[in-house]
Amino acid sequence: MTQVLSTTPGLYPLPDWAKDELANLKGRQKGGLVSGDESAEIGDAYDRARTEVVDLQTDAGLDLVVEGQLRWDDMLTHPLAVADAVETKGIVRYFDNNNFYRDPVVTGDLSATGDVATDLEATVELTDESLNAVLPGPYTLSQLATDEHYGDEAAFLSALAEFLASEAEQFPEVETLFLLEPSLLESPPGDGADERASEAIDTVAQATEADVVAHTYWESHGGDGGIDEKVYAHLMDADVDAVGFDFVANHEDNAYVLSEYGAKDDIALGIVDGQNTLVEEGEEIAERVEWTLDNAHGVDFETAYATINTPTFYLPSGRFEEKLAALGAVERTEVKA
Amino acid sequence: MTERPADNREQFRPADHDNDHFLLTSVVGSYKKPKWLDRARELYEDDEDNFGDTEWEEAKDDAARLITEEHERAGLDTVVDGEMRRTEMVEYFAERIEGYEFNGRVKVWGHNYFNKPSVAETVEYGEQWLVDEFEFTDSVADRPVKVPITGPYTLANWTFNEAYDDDEALAYDLAELVNEEIEQLVDAGARYIQIDEPALATTPDDHAIVGECLERIVEDIPEEVRIGLHVCYGDYSRIYPEVLDYPVDELDLELTNGDYEQIDVFTDPEFTLDLALGVVDNHTADVESVEEIKANIQQGLKVVPPEQLTISPDCGLKLLPREVAYEKMENMVTAAREVEAELDAGEIDVPALGETASADD
């Protein structure tokens, strides 16, 4: 029997009132975006918004609560955007979406800021539930950032892994850590780089007592569908407790690599669509969980994290809340495995 | 059966055009709204204010007239009303198509949001989209009016799809609606339609879907109606030469922004459509000089001969202050006229024809 726990990969949309209040406080230009030393007034607005999204998760009945990453103006590159030795420059496109972030240019030795840990500390105060911490995976971060200091790809990736590891070391007690690695599909690492990507994830994973999930999402480029087989094979060598899959974007290919290459003892199942406003029924979500567990032939999981496939920052707030409620309802539905 | 590219650009040559050569000048479409129009919208949307439908319609008419005339004053051969009546390029159409709904704002970047719609049911033609807009602009303009219309692929792609199995099926249904709208525009007298498909540049693997959409859109549209396709901000090598098979007369491209680094993409194989070349950058408030723009125009002559070259800004000008946008258009027209005169005089080479300085002599 697999234990099914519901959670999300974070990066929530701001509640509508906070969209307005913070736009008024920070402006709409790139100069006003989060830098790590915001005013007390801005901090207060984020505190209220955080309380709201933590309550939403508790009310929805989610097993593992996330902080919500509402301050992450630059989405996955936020931890770099607030770090010393990083200059945030022009607005660049975020993957193939109609979203943009400030290009973080690394100009010196990176060191941890404790920014993510501080937000997690604040979250501990708001809930009795266990926490799921969220960080960008080192490989994805290396693809989204620009290096003007370390000199070569391998050195940059390794520095980012150390940077994320030292951020994770400062976390309060968390149950799980989701490392978001969409770039493993969007721009798969080639020979050599695939092994280094896995080692970098390993570096971060070893910095925490929490169960670590390397969460992948989106369909891969070039129409291959799921995660590249070699990339996955290397990922299996990383000391993570689970790999996460986007079963919304592609369930067949993901089920195939699971059957072909096996899996970790735990798994994250991205089965609620974070890219679309269509709200799934609780029963539909339970069926998807069941299908994925049934189709991972020969693998018995101890824990399956039922989750939204992607971060949800570009869903409208109302639909996002309905999706949280639907996902939270899944644990109350009978799941056979 | 119509064939494109068709021979339909001469109708836009002004009667008093001085040069033998004719580089058709145009704009992509959007333009900054006057502040008073934004203020009028706020008044209109405020229920407590005594600013009703009549006042709001009058404000939009005034703005459309103002910007149309601003385009004419800049000397453009074909004009647009600056899309004064439109909100945003997907939102405006989604508001008029049955099957769409709005669920709230979504993030683009930082604290910038847009009202991204969802398709909740099969799409159907609802109220008219652009016919009133065209008829008004045409009535106040002395020059031919170009009508930009968001293409079905972008309407499908920049929408949450809740109702169709995939975006492809949604795009084909939307293509039928776009076709219906264009037929009505043509009946109303429109002779220059520009289909905007910026989403093509971000997801170039889908170029076949865009082609199939275009087939549906232009079906039964007479050859005298000029059909352009606007694409921007992407890796063009991933859509070229496939785009040459599209049933359009003109391909409109953003190229100034990237300093023409991608221009060579279009030289092999031979560019068989008309090229609407972006020659001023809509993302910088620095006004390009006439000399600079003339050099940019000559980049276009590497790809097509003058008979196939249209001159345009990279993209819509709505993010620029109005005076900057105006100066860019004015310099653009001056540059085009000077290049025409120099072509007449045989002072400029046309690399697309294999001409070199020595061959000219």
A132 vs A333, more confident: A132
Q: Given the DSSP bridges, would you call strands A146-147 and A211-215 parallel, antiparallel or unpaired?
A: unpaired
At residue B120 the predicted structure's pLDDT band, cuts being 50, 70 and 90, is very high
Say whether residue B267 is in contact with chain A using an 8 A CB cutoff. no
- Give the three-state DSSP class for A297: coil
Residue A332 in this model has a pLDDT that exceeds 80: no
Question: Would you say residue B113 lies in a domain?
Answer: no
Reply yes or no: is the peptide bond before residue B269 cis, omega within 30 of 0. Answer: yes
Question: Would you say residue B140 lies in a domain?
Answer: yes
At residue B361 the predicted structure's pLDDT band, cuts being 50, 70 and 90, is very low
Question: Would you say residue B108 lies in a domain?
Answer: no
What pLDDT digit, counting tens, does each position of B299-326 carry?
Answer: 999 999 999 999 999 999 998 999 999 9
So what's the pLDDT on residue A234? Answer: 95
So what's the pLDDT on residue B1? Answer: 64
So what's the pLDDT on residue B303? Answer: 97
CB contact under 8 A, A276 and B162: yes
User: What is the dihedral angle through the alpha carbons of A237, A239, A241, A245, rounded to the nearest 10 degrees?
Assistant: -50
Residue B357 in this model has a pLDDT that exceeds 60: no
Question: What total number of domains does chain B contain?
Answer: 1
Retrieve residue A61's tokens.
């009945």
Residue of B nearest to A25 (CA): B111
Q: Which residues share a beta bridge with A6?
A: A306
Chain A hits for B108, Cβ within 8 Å: 98-100
Rounded to an integer, what distance in angstroms lies between the CA atom of residue B209 and that of residue B175? 11
Chain A hits for B110, Cβ within 8 Å: 26, 28-30, 32-33, 73
Alpha carbon separation from A126 to A68, B147, B288 (Å, rounded): 12, 54, 55
Retrieve residue A81's tokens.
């955007």
Question: Would you say residue B359 lies in a domain?
Answer: no
CB contact under 8 A, B110 and A96: no
A120 vs B356, more confident: A120
What pLDDT digit, counting tens, does each position of A254-269 carry?
Answer: 888 998 899 999 999 9
- Asked if B154 contacts B90 with a C-beta cutoff of 8 angstroms, the reply is yes
Rounded to an integer, what distance in angstroms lies between the CA atom of residue B300 and that of residue B308? 10
Rounded to an integer, what distance in angstroms lies between the CA atom of residue B149 and that of residue B111? 27
Chain B hits for A316, Cβ within 8 Å: 103-106, 116
What pLDDT digit, counting tens, does each position of B197-208 carry?
Answer: 999 987 888 899
Instruction: Tell me the average pLDDT across A77-106.
Output: 92
CB contact under 8 A, B105 and A16: yes
At residue A331 the predicted structure's pLDDT band, cuts being 50, 70 and 90, is low
Chain A hits for B118, Cβ within 8 Å: 276-278
Instruction: Tell me how far apart the 2 most distant CA atoms of chain A are, in Å.
Output: 54
Instruction: Tell me the average pLDDT across A232-247.
Output: 95
Percent of chain A with pLDDT strictly greater than 90: 80
B262: containing domain: 19-98+125-345
Measure the CA angle with vertex A181, ends A26 and A140; round to 5°. Answer: 65
Chain B hits for A29, Cβ within 8 Å: 110
Residue of A nearest to B105 (CA): A316
What b/e readout covers B303-329, taking b as 16+ CB neighbours within 10 angstroms?
bbbbebbbbbbbbbbbebebebbbbbb
Range scoring the smallest mean pLDDT among A241-250, B129-138, B200-209: B200-209
At residue A300 the predicted structure's pLDDT band, cuts being 50, 70 and 90, is confident
Say whether residue B235 is in contact with chain A using an 8 A CB cutoff. no
B206 vs B10, more confident: B10
At residue A109 the predicted structure's pLDDT band, cuts being 50, 70 and 90, is very high
Distance of residue B304 Cα from the nearest chain A Cα, in angstroms: 31
Instruction: Tell me the average pLDDT across A132-156.
Output: 98
At residue B355 the predicted structure's pLDDT band, cuts being 50, 70 and 90, is low
- Asked if A82 contacts A58 with a C-beta cutoff of 8 angstroms, the reply is no
Percent of chain B with pLDDT strictly greater than 70: 98
Chain A residues with CB under 8 Å of a chain B CB are 13-14, 16, 19, 22-23, 26-30, 32-33, 73, 91, 93-94, 96-101, 222-223, 275-278, 313-319
A&B contacts, CB < 8 Å: 69
So what's the pLDDT on residue A44? Answer: 97
Beta carbons within 10 angstroms of residue A5's beta carbon: 21
B87 vs A29, more confident: B87
Q: Which fold has domain A3-329?
A: TIM Barrel (3.20.20)
- Give the three-state DSSP class for A268: strand
CB contact under 8 A, A96 and B107: no
Chain B hits for A15, Cβ within 8 Å: none
- Report the residue of B101, B102, B109 to disrupt the A interface, i.e. the one with the largest count of A CBs within 10 Å: B109
So what's the pLDDT on residue A222? Answer: 47
Say whether residue B13 is in contact with chain A using an 8 A CB cutoff. no
What b/e readout covers A140-171, taking b as 16+ CB neighbours within 10 angstroms?
bbbbbbbbebbeeeeebbbbbbbbbbbbbebb
For residue B196, give the nearest of B117, B258, B138, B251 by alpha carbon.
B251
Question: Would you say residue B114 lies in a domain?
Answer: no
Residue A217 in this model has a pLDDT that exceeds 50: yes
What pLDDT digit, counting tens, does each position of B72-110 carry?
Answer: 999 999 999 999 999 999 999 999 999 999 999 999 899
Strands (DSSP E) found in chain B: 24-25, 97-102, 106-109, 112-114, 117-125, 147-150, 160-161, 192-196, 226-231, 250-253, 274-278, 309-312
So what's the pLDDT on residue A337? Answer: 47
Instruction: Tell me the average pLDDT across A229-244.
Output: 95
What pLDDT digit, counting tens, does each position of B176-191 carry?
Answer: 999 999 999 999 999 9
Helix boundaries (H) for A214-334: 229-235, 252-261, 282-295, 317-328
Instruction: Tell me the average pLDDT across A282-291.
Output: 91
Instruction: Tell me the average pLDDT across A104-117.
Output: 98
- Give the three-state DSSP class for A142: helix
So what's the pLDDT on residue B358? Answer: 45
So what's the pLDDT on residue A330? Answer: 82
Chain A hits for B162, Cβ within 8 Å: 276-278
Helices (H) and strands (E) in chain A, counts: 12, 11
What pLDDT digit, counting tens, does each position of B35-63 carry?
Answer: 999 999 999 998 888 899 999 999 999 99
Rounded to an integer, what distance in angstroms lies between the CA atom of residue B329 and that of residue B53? 33
Instruction: Tell me the average pLDDT across A329-335.
Output: 63
Q: Give the domain CATH number at B220.
A: 3.20.20.210
What pLDDT digit, counting tens, does each position of A289-299 carry?
Answer: 999 888 877 78
At residue A107 the predicted structure's pLDDT band, cuts being 50, 70 and 90, is very high
At residue B283 the predicted structure's pLDDT band, cuts being 50, 70 and 90, is confident
Residue A305 in this model has a pLDDT that exceeds 90: yes
Instruction: Tell me the average pLDDT across B242-257.
Output: 95
Residue A333 in this model has a pLDDT that exceeds 60: no
Retrieve residue A2's tokens.
């697999």
So what's the pLDDT on residue A219? Answer: 79
Question: Would you say residue B187 lies in a domain?
Answer: yes
Question: Would you say residue B350 lies in a domain?
Answer: no
Range scoring the smallest mean pLDDT among A84-88, A216-220, B330-334: A216-220
Question: Would you say residue B310 lies in a domain?
Answer: yes
At residue B233 the predicted structure's pLDDT band, cuts being 50, 70 and 90, is confident
The gap from C-alpha B170 to its chain's centroid, in whole angstroms, comes to 22
Phi first, then psi, for residue B160 (nearest 5°) are -80, 125
Retrieve residue B296's tokens.
């940019």
Residue B2 in this model has a pLDDT that exceeds 90: no
So what's the pLDDT on residue A102? Answer: 93
So what's the pLDDT on residue B147? Answer: 98
Say whether residue B160 is in contact with chain A using an 8 A CB cutoff. yes
Phi first, then psi, for residue A132 (nearest 5°) are -115, 115
Average pLDDT, chain B: 94
User: What is the dihedral angle through the alpha carbons of B75, B132, B320, A102, rounded to the nearest 10 degrees?
Assistant: -140
For residue A185, give the nearest of A260, A245, A255 by alpha carbon.
A245
Rounded to an integer, what distance in angstroms lies between the CA atom of residue A224 and that of residue A221? 7
- Asked if B134 contacts B64 with a C-beta cutoff of 8 angstroms, the reply is no
- Report the residue of B90, B106, B168 to disrupt the A interface, i.e. the one with the largest count of A CBs within 10 Å: B106
Retrieve residue A327's tokens.
């996902």
This prediction's pTM:
0.87
Distance of residue A94 Cα from the nearest chain B Cα, in angstroms: 9
So what's the pLDDT on residue A166? Answer: 98
Residue B257 in this model has a pLDDT that exceeds 50: yes
Average pLDDT, chain A: 93
- Asked if A283 contacts A322 with a C-beta cutoff of 8 angstroms, the reply is no
